[in-house]
Structure 1
């Protein structure tokens, strides 16, 4: 369906940005200076064949890409006005045979159509633990531990558990690279994906695979290759004749080297209100979707345990990128709401607005200056899908303290508020880790579904104690993909120049001083719950 059209098409130069998220593909038509004119969204299937198994179909995704691109460009009569197309996608693993046909990663269904092991797939815990039991230099660049969400543990799982798939597979690609392959007909690998998710080493002086690492973990056959590594935004080819027919574009269209979806959002977010490259430092970008990624850049490499990176030129050329994250944020809010009995009492309106309205009424009845104070006796620990940062512990689980027999809509509203606050405290703990290790975070920028809630935004500003900026163009991930397209087309001298030119304005939410002490105390409870959970595990470890 068409998401929106909010400006008349007036400029002569356009770009197409394509974002492949967890549950949908979106394409946007973007003017040269960053105005998004039209968005089209196509849902895609997530196959949850076992509790920790999440799989997708690369064929379905490609068809969704073509459909969405055709729709947003259908009003452009002269397709040569579309100078470039850029892609971002989740960091999911695509498996193809020698003919580029899908090879299954689904032991439950055995269907070759499910040939993508998604980013959120957690089946490779044992393999991640095995890799982390070795003292490898590459682990230094992923916060000290490789995540089971990254590609090397997943590849090792496939090699160990799906031998027929391993034997049949000829190509393993990150999903962003699969999209540029399908569009150009040419193989190339994004430095963003390879450095961030495949342990490719790059420090600005030298780059390459650590062959000893791959040999030690039993994947030495994958390191023996001649993959072409390309910096994000660099042209990796033109739209092929076959893809041009499917996408409704012309063959002269430039195709940009892709990035991971969070990094696309990071590119656009850190550039909002920026005038120069130096303005990009000290900003923490939160890309809030099913999970939340926390992105910032620095001039020099800064190593922080539990924070992925530093990655050289993975997001902004010449800068080191650090990436923290929370494994379940939008997914957690949805889970908390959908599993509460009072959700069925929701009138026919936006559920978040409904709950926030209830909170305002409760605060007014209790003569409170803010609904913030309603959760004094209700505390939630948010790691329902493990902790990505800063603990890097996928075994962490969620906790709730303060439950009663109340099952009313008021109970749900309070639980909703406690969840938003807990997510803010998770970000605060990530900032603490970044700051301790040498970063200086002066502001936070947000995009994604949760950033549509003013309560979510203000809660973060208050809990973090720094301004939160919301870009005027809130579709930052799509804007980031179009910035890649603008760079590849040659309309801007480099990616940084394109980002600064297209980043746009932002609205600022300042922290409120009258709730600071309350959030400080709640944050202390948050950390105590985290510590208590570890103690409980220790107590029960002897069973």
Structure 2
């Protein structure tokens, strides 16, 4: 048996997995990583802390395995910006000036003015980002750095997307992933070039000097072998063999997409183009691939070859999902008492799910969903990524009372889950109205995918089967697929996806609930309309 290692750097932790060639995860390890939030909208990390956690996790999952049997390693990470100075050391991107804080996280929203400026220029490149640039992408963040930390800017040697920083540390090779550059840096994947006029227009033309060496001149598709594999230094850190294949990296959500699209489900179309992949974590990403480009307002893409070779990718998203559910629960007065009552291993969400079943029975409701008739949530507590593409939108709750009981929390929690599902419907309808009408199933992974109520609600709201893979750690599996592709254990990365993707179990929609969710969805859209109306009134 041969093995591959997948390394996933998420928002709050590093994880690694030892995976065999069938896609079965044999062992995992996790380490928390530091986050600084010194100023409002400023979220920073340390690349050295992240790498140290990667080393510890990889050593942990590989410690009982002959290094000869570990053939490849793949990395995914959040689309955070890493700054490295001319001495190849961390370069601060923080107003604090501390060099260790050299990673501007994906959820950092300091570049709001820069994103607004860039979007207002209406360059043609924006047709590949839904018509505007997101402040979560890298060019607004780079523009902020150049404007506000010019001294640091002048000291820079490289700016990496975090996934590419990891492959650089592993191989010593300055290689960039097509996935990261196309999705977050405005690189033209179809023609394999940077759009010079765009960088000149926004004032970042200096990044293209010397064959764009600061941001990427050597570009590879996800899973392509990087350099000569693990460098001697990295191999010693990992306790692996020098030359072990390292695959070109991928963004974390897209790693989940690789594994999900390869998942096999009985009686459900397995063509990649018929599926939407939902990767649920702190935020949620919605991945759809197609043979031709689809331009949808407020939806990122189309991105050529960014996830699956030869296919175009569209990416919708919700800025906070898992984090929003946690926020709703943690800020409610009843939560502390619930935690005292939990049995060993029981999650608060599972407790609330059970409580909702009891409440529905007490109210003679045919389904839990009817309990939320008088409470409605607009879930954009951290702005809207898709399809409105407005980072200034705020969250809203309608139907609050003075109650602080467990039941009041359960109702708010239910309405929040439903609102997240209506957000997915909003994204899906935008894609369909723009020409991508072939979606027949939803595949889901990540934290919220483990919540049965959330899965069933998604199915009922969307009117589509929602599939959860038997192998729960799809993002880690996707990273390992990159390692398998780099080691050339399979002829192509598509073959690796199909052979390692495993099987899934589907939840099917309850058609009897459609009318109720249609009405709730109308309220959902009305809440957006009202928020914009209130803004208009306050500006007059």
The bucket for the TM-score relative to the shorter chain is over 0.9
Q: How many residues align?
A: 527
Q: Is the 8 Å Cα contact of residues 80 and 252 (structure 1) preserved in structure 2?
A: no
SS of the aligned residue for 1:386 comes to coil
Aligned partners of 1:46, 1:495: CA distance in 2, in Å?
Answer: 33
Task: Render the CA deviation track for 1:64-120: whole Å, top value 9, x for unaligned.
Answer: 0000000000110x201100000000000000101211111110x321000000000
SS of the aligned residue for 1:170 comes to strand
SS of the aligned residue for 1:179 comes to helix
Q: Choose from 206, 212, 230 the match for 1:221.
A: 206
How big is the alpha-carbon RMSD for the aligned residues of Structure 1 and Structure 2?
1.2
TM-score (norm 1): 0.96
Deviation above 3 Å: which 4+ runs of structure 1? Answer: 274-278
SS of the aligned residue for 2:287 comes to strand
Change (3 A) 1:425 1:225: farther
**1:259 corresponds to 2:247:** no
Task: Render the CA deviation track for 1:398-418: whole Å, top value 9, x for unaligned.
Answer: 000000000101000100000
Aligned partners of 1:274, 1:472: CA distance in 2, in Å?
Answer: 10
Q: Choose from 80, 83, 86 the match for 1:95.
A: 83
Shift of 1:31: 0.3
SS of the aligned residue for 1:53 comes to coil
Shift of 1:278: 7.0
Q: Is the 8 Å Cα contact of residues 274 and 503 (structure 1) preserved in structure 2?
A: no
Q: How does 1:468-483 map to 2 (within 5 A)?
A: 468-483=466-481
Q: Which structure 1 segments of 5+ residues have no match? A: 1-11
SS of the aligned residue for 1:91 comes to coil
Q: Is the 8 Å Cα contact of residues 277 and 496 (structure 1) preserved in structure 2?
A: no
Q: Which structure 2 segments of 5+ residues have no match? A: 212-216
Q: Choose from 402, 405, 408 the match for 1:405.
A: 402
Q: Choose from 514, 523, 528 the match for 1:525.
A: 523
2:142 corresponds to: 155
Change (3 A) 1:526 1:501: same
Task: Render the CA deviation track for 1:465-513: whole Å, top value 9, x for unaligned.
Answer: 0000000111000000011111000111111010011111000000001
Shift of 1:146: 0.7
1:3 corresponds to: none
**1:72 corresponds to 2:61:** yes
Change (3 A) 1:286 1:493: same
Q: Is the 8 Å Cα contact of residues 71 and 245 (structure 2) preserved in structure 1?
A: yes
Aligned partners of 2:225, 2:269: CA distance in 1, in Å?
Answer: 22
Q: Choose from 414, 424, 427 the match for 2:424.
A: 427
1:353 corresponds to: 350
Aligned partners of 1:296, 1:470: CA distance in 2, in Å?
Answer: 17
Q: Choose from 28, 31, 56 the match for 1:39.
A: 28
1:230 corresponds to: 220
TM-score (norm 2): 0.96
Q: Is the 8 Å Cα contact of residues 360 and 371 (structure 1) preserved in structure 2?
A: yes
2:287 corresponds to: 295
